[in-house]
């Protein structure tokens, strides 16, 4: 067990009875890496509470004074507002739709749409035919949201289901109004509906003691819209065993509460045991269950019990009595409400972001790698490349652990996903790599040294399948060896035949065939078959040093014709190889091939490298004089104030090793 969530008081001893909760955060998608969004900056974060008296309470997390945004790891201070005119009746249910700036409410048995951006939350529209409603739920419909909790208009529309006695009425959002869902406007049952959940193209409804699965839109198997089938029945329908359905983050799995047990099903209604979802047994019958990526949180009579979903483990127990409501806000943040006394409410934030990194290290230490991977993926405070590396490192540890447990196929699947070096993977087996190569590879633990024949056969079979799917990486790994034993001519012909130009470049680089490597980049720059050829050529030339000076100038000329700004980087990189180049010859080359870059080069070697060569100083001074004269000629001696460069140039001429001719 570990502390997955810290408890932060938001409001205590409120002299009001709260009947409903919702929370939302507006995000700025701050970091994109490999076309995937990784970092979510919270621009606005608040929790709304509806009371029995019809008030709406708003608690807004205060923004950071330094960033102007919300720190998801620090949600300890809130600003409070109250709207006393929200409703004249108890606010039974709330749901915020921040991406649409809308708030849905169920009050006086009517579902209404409010403006979320205004302090008074005025009613914009009323959902048609929602009179006598007892419950509603929403989801993003049909479009693929890539397994994230946050989707945009381009990804899909909002689907709303309103329960009115025996009917589930379906709507989609058009602007700020909900209209009937054209594919399936309503579903009628034989008795009163107790609970409903949406899973994209499916709906699960609880009617009396029975769970039903309904297809909303015809699926690939030819099932028509409105097709209904019974899943199972509930043996106990007492008040303390109210039905509860939790939809997991990818909306392909949902959890169902039955007594003190929760079990998992696929969106088509079949059991998910074969997918690794074990049944969860709670300490007692929960009154409420909420899902937060990785964990399920259950409200019990005197505590909040937190268990991981996959694998099923008891993670934390938070002592708290008379719990009433819980609502999810964003990954790692939930709000829970308790009623410690009559007509009194306490509101708390459960913050799972604060200790996430500590918990990740704990799980790694305890070798709970499957859960560690999920925690790493769910962390919201990581940024792009840092997050990618953290996840990859944890997955590689998990793969190594699976290998030592003889679960070869699972291990290689993860190594394939993380694009691990193939020699690293091959080296997991004894005697498959030369000893001098294997000694250069470091593993996070002890490798099995004497695998039984049957294990060895299973492992080699899985390795063969892995290598056949990762052949390109195998080629690259072999070529990266500093002393690879590839036959150059044969390898060159083979790589050209299969258009493996990146690998061909690696071959030339490792064999110090510099002209061939640069010529390949030059050819591919024209054909566009290798990405970033100019940048790669610049980096390559920066590493060659003075012994290949003529070759550097030869290909620098080609780069200067393409991009003079890029060419100058060849001679200004702060490295030993570049510093060692003959600066007078470099200057001659620049003045001949790209004279507009001469000042940039001289300012760099004199200002940054403190070169005191008289010739370089004189040349820069002359160039400054020429520039100043040119400016005065253009502006008739009336130099605008923005030409501060003139002062800098004159100051240099006065101070430098400049000999007037």
C-alpha 629/C-alpha 642 separation (Å) is 16
In order, the DSSP letters of 36-88 are EEEEEEEEEEEEEEEETTS-EEEEEEPPPTTTSSB-TT----EEEEEETTS-S
pLDDT in tens, 52-70: 999 999 999 876 433 444 5
Q: Would you say residue 297 has pLDDT above 70?
A: yes
C-alpha 237/C-alpha 163 separation (Å) is 19
| In contact, 10 and 78? CB cutoff 8 Å | yes
- The mean pLDDT value for 220-244 works out to 78
Task: Write out the two tokens for 320.
Answer: 């708290």
C-alpha 609/C-alpha 603 separation (Å) is 9
- The mean pLDDT value for 232-249 works out to 79
pLDDT in tens, 605-653: 998 999 988 899 889 888 888 887 777 777 665 655 545 555 565 556 5
pLDDT in tens, 1-39: 899 999 999 999 988 899 999 998 865 433 333 333 333
Q: Exposed e or buried b for every residue in 267-298, given b needs 16+ CB within 10 A?
A: bebeebeeeebeebebeebbbbbbbbbbbbbb
Q: What pTM was computed for the model?
A: 0.68
Which strands make up the sheet holding 288-292, listed edge to edge?
288-292, 295-299, 303-308, 313-319
- The mean pLDDT value for 384-391 works out to 84
C-alpha 279/C-alpha 312 separation (Å) is 7
What is the crossing angle of helices 471-480 and 453-469, to 10°? Answer: 90
Q: In terms of pLDDT, which residue wins out, 144 or 401? A: 401
Q: Would you say residue 449 has pLDDT above 60?
A: yes
pLDDT at 38: 36
| In contact, 277 and 267? CB cutoff 8 Å | no
pLDDT band at 487 (very low <50, low <70, confident <90, very high): low
Q: ∠ CA(509), CA(513), CA(514), 5° rounding?
A: 80
Taking Cα atoms as reference points, which of 619, 558, 600, 549 lies closest to residue 578?
Answer: 549
Mean residue pLDDT of the chain comes to 85
pLDDT at 349: 94
Taking Cα atoms as reference points, which of 310, 299, 307 lies closest to residue 264?
Answer: 310
Inter-CA distances, 655 with 31, 632, 651, Å: 46, 22, 6
pLDDT at 431: 78
- Bridge partners of residue 257, in order along the sequence: 262
Contacts of 390 (CB under 8 A, 6+ apart): 360, 376, 379, 382
Q: Would you say residue 147 has pLDDT above 50?
A: no
Residue keyed to tokens 């447990």: 405
pLDDT at 382: 66
pLDDT in tens, 649-660: 555 655 565 555
pLDDT in tens, 202-229: 999 999 889 999 998 876 566 788 899 9
How many of the other CB atoms lie within 10 Å of CB of 512?
A: 10
pLDDT in tens, 512-561: 899 999 999 999 888 776 668 899 999 999 999 999 999 999 999 999 99
- The mean pLDDT value for 35-57 works out to 72
C-alpha 571/C-alpha 584 separation (Å) is 12
pLDDT band at 41 (very low <50, low <70, confident <90, very high): very low
How many of the other CB atoms lie within 10 Å of CB of 200?
A: 21
Inter-CA distances, 440 with 72, 436, 437, 474, 626, Å: 41, 7, 5, 17, 58
C-alpha 604/C-alpha 588 separation (Å) is 16
pLDDT at 285: 93
Question: Ramachandran region of residue 35, left (φ > 0), alpha (ψ -120 to 50) or beta?
Answer: left
- The mean pLDDT value for 335-355 works out to 91
pLDDT at 439: 87
- The mean pLDDT value for 252-264 works out to 92
pLDDT at 474: 64
């Amino acid at each position: 067990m570990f502390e997955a969530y810290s408890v932060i008081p938001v409001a205590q001893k409120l002299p009001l009875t709260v009947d409903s909760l919702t929370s939302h955060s507006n995000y700025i998608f701050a970091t994109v890496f490999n076309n995937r969004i990784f970092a979510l900056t919270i621009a606005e974060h608040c929790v709304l509470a509806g009371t029995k008296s019809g008030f709406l309470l708003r608690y807004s997390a205060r923004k950071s004074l330094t960033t102007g945004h919300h720190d998801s790891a620090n949600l300890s201070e809130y600003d409070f507002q109250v709207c006393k005119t929200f409703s004249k009746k108890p606010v039974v249910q709330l749901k915020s739709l921040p991406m649409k700036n809308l708030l849905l409410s169920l009050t006086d048995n009517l579902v209404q749409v409010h403006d979320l951006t205004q302090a008074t939350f005025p009613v914009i529209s009323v959902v048609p035919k929602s009179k006598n409603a007892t419950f509603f739920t929403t989801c993003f419909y049909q479009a693929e949201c890539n397994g994230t909790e946050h989707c945009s208009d381009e990804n899909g529309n909002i689907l709303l289901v309103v329960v009115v006695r025996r009917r589930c009425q379906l709507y989609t959002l058009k602007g700020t109004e909900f209209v009937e869902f054209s594919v399936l406007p309503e579903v009628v049952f034989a008795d009163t509906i107790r609970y409903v959940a949406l899973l994209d193209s499916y709906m699960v409804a609880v009617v009396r003691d029975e769970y039903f699965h309904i297809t909303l839109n015809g699926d690939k198997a030819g099932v028509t819209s409105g097709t209904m089938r019974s899943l199972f029945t509930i043996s106990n329908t007492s008040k303390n065993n109210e039905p509860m359905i939790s939809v997991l983050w990818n909306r392909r799995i949902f959890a169902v509460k039955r007594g003190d047990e929760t079990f998992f099903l696929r969106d088509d209604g079949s059991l998910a045991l074969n997918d690794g979802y074990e049944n969860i047994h709670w300490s007692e019958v929960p009154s409420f269950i909420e899902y937060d990526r990785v964990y399920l949180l259950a409200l019990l009579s005197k505590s909040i019990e937190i268990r991981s979903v996959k694998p099923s483990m008891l993670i934390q127990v938070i002592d708290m009595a008379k719990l009433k409501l819980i609502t999810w806000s964003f990954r790692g943040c939930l709000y829970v409400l308790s009623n410690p006394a009559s007509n009194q409410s306490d509101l708390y934030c459960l913050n799972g972001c604060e200790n996430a990194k500590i918990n990740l290290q704990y799980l790694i230490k305890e070798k709970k790698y499957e859960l560690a991977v999920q925690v790493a993926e769910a962390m919201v405070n990581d940024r792009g490349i840092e997050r990618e590396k953290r996840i990859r490192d944890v997955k590689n540890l998990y793969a190594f652990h699976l290998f030592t447990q003889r679960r070869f196929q699972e291990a290689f699947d993860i190594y394939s996903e993380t694009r691990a070096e193939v020699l690293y993977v091959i080296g997991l087996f004894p005697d498959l790599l030369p000893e001098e190569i294997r000694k250069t590879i470091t593993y996070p633990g002890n490798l099995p040294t004497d695998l039984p024949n049957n294990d060895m056969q299973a492992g080699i079979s899985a390795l063969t399948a892995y290598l056949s799917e990762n052949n390109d990486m195998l080629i690259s790994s072999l070529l990266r060896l500093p002393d690879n034993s590839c036959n150059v001519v044969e390898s060159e012909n083979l790589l050209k035949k299969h258009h493996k130009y990146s690998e061909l470049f690696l071959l030339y680089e490792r064999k110090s065939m510099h002209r061939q490597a640069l010529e390949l980049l030059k050819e591919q720059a024209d054909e566009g078959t290798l990405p970033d050829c100019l940048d790669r050529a610049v980096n390559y030339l920066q590493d060659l040093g003075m012994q290949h000076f003529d070759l550097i100038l030869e290909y620098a000329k080609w780069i200067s014709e393409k991009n003079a700004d890029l060419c100058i980087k060849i001679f200004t990189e702060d490295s030993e190889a570049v510093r060692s180049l003959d600066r007078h010859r470099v200057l001659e080359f620049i003045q001949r091939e790209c004279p507009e870059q001469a000042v940039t080069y001289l300012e760099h070697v004199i200002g940054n490298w403190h070169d005191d060569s008289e010739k370089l100083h004189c040349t820069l001074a002359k160039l400054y004089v020429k520039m100043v004269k040119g400016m005065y000629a253009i502006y008739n001696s009336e130099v605008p104030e923005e030409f501060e460069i003139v002062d800098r140039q004159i100051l240099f001429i006065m101070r430098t090793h400049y000999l007037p001719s």
